């Protein structure tokens, strides 16, 4: 009898432990903190296995340009030569550049400034009921020129220089567009910055761009450091001290586009 009582007690103890574990499981799941999906600095994740569906691909020799504009606090300083602030000169030269692009050129824009770090054209969005950001495909200038001009005009100096983040966003956008065009056309990442990156070494991003056939055309605005990675690693680098230099640098990317056109069709 005594043995039976002990045996029953042990069985009840085991059942109690098992039941308690079963009750604790939902509590541990619900205690996990919710992810923050606010739109401050959205950034697409790298997906090596990402493939553009066949129905979205077409052979195209159109050029794609993705502009990264530095609007950090130091861009509020005066230009090295001439008058006015660096940010005002950069905005004006970039708007003039957009107006020179062919209407069939695909274009994207990323600015980091007082408003934060973000891709402005095309602007990412979050579908209703979803926690995931959607990064729309790039549009041609004929459809997004007004949006590009408006975003550039509104840029205001402030904040740090998260250059690598911006360049990675451009890299992924250009890679995606290149795949949509069946790996044809010219993809150019245009980077205008006035100093060192705060979030890593841009040389690593430039190496990735080179790997995927993307040309990085960098414009160093009042950069005196001869070892700056933009100067050392970019496909093309132009030093600028005034707005006229910026205009010449932007025009240089158009020459690259014309050269590619001639190689393909002549």
Q: Which of 94, 22, 102 is nearest to 62 (CA)?
A: 102
Element (DSSP H or E) covering residue 233: helix 229-233
User: Is residue 76 situated within a structural domain?
Assistant: yes
> Domain residues for 193?
64-265
**Could you report the per-residue pLDDT of 233-266, keeping only the tens digit for each?**
999 999 999 999 999 999 999 876 655 544 444 4
Look at residue 15 and tell me if it is in a domain.
no
Structural domain includes residue 166 = yes
In a domain, 152, yes or no: yes
- CATH number, position 190: 3.40.50.410
pLDDT for the residue numbered 58 = 75
Residue ranges in the chain modelled with pLDDT below 70: 1-55, 256-266
pLDDT of 20: 44
Query: Does 55 reside within a domain?
Result: no
Residue 34 included in any domain? no
| Confidence at residue 1, expressed as pLDDT on a 0 to 100 scale | 53
Our count of domains for the chain comes to: 1
Q: Residue 53: inside a domain, yes or no?
A: no
CA distance 198 to 196: 7
Do the beta carbons of residue 159 and residue 113 sit within 8 Å?
Answer: yes
How far apart are the C-alpha atoms of 229 and 21, rounded to whole Å? 56
């Amino acid at each position: 009898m005594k043995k039976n009582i002990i045996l029953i007690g042990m069985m009840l103890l085991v059942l109690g432990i098992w039941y308690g574990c079963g009750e604790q499981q939902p509590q541990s799941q619900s205690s996990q903190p919710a992810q923050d999906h606010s739109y401050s600095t959205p950034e697409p994740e790298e997906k090596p296995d990402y493939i553009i569906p066949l129905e979205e691909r077409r052979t195209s020799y159109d050029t794609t340009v993705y502009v990264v504009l530095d609007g950090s606090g130091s861009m509020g300083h005066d230009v090295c030569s001439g008058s006015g602030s660096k940010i005002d000169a950069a905005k004006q030269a970039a708007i003039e550049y957009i107006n020179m692009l062919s209407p069939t050129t695909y274009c994207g824009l990323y600015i980091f400034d007082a408003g934060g770090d973000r891709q402005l054209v095309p602007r990412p969005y979050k579908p209703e009921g979803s926690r995931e950001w959607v990064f729309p495909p790039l549009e041609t200038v004929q459809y997004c020129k007004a949006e590009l001009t408006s975003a550039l005009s509104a840029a205001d100096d402030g904040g740090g220089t998260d250059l690598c983040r911006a360049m990675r966003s451009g890299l992924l956008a250009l890679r995606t567009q290149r795949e949509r065009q069946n790996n044809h056309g010219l993809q150019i990442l245009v980077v205008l910055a006035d100093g060192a990156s705060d979030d890593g070494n841009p040389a690593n991003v430039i190496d990735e761009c080179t790997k995927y056939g993307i040309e990085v055309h960098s414009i160093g605005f009042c950069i005196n450091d001869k070892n700056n990675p933009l100067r050392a690693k970019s496909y093309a680098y132009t030093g600028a001290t005034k707005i006229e230099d910026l205009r010449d640098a932007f025009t240089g990317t158009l020459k690259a586009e014309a050269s590619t056109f001639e190689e393909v069709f002549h």
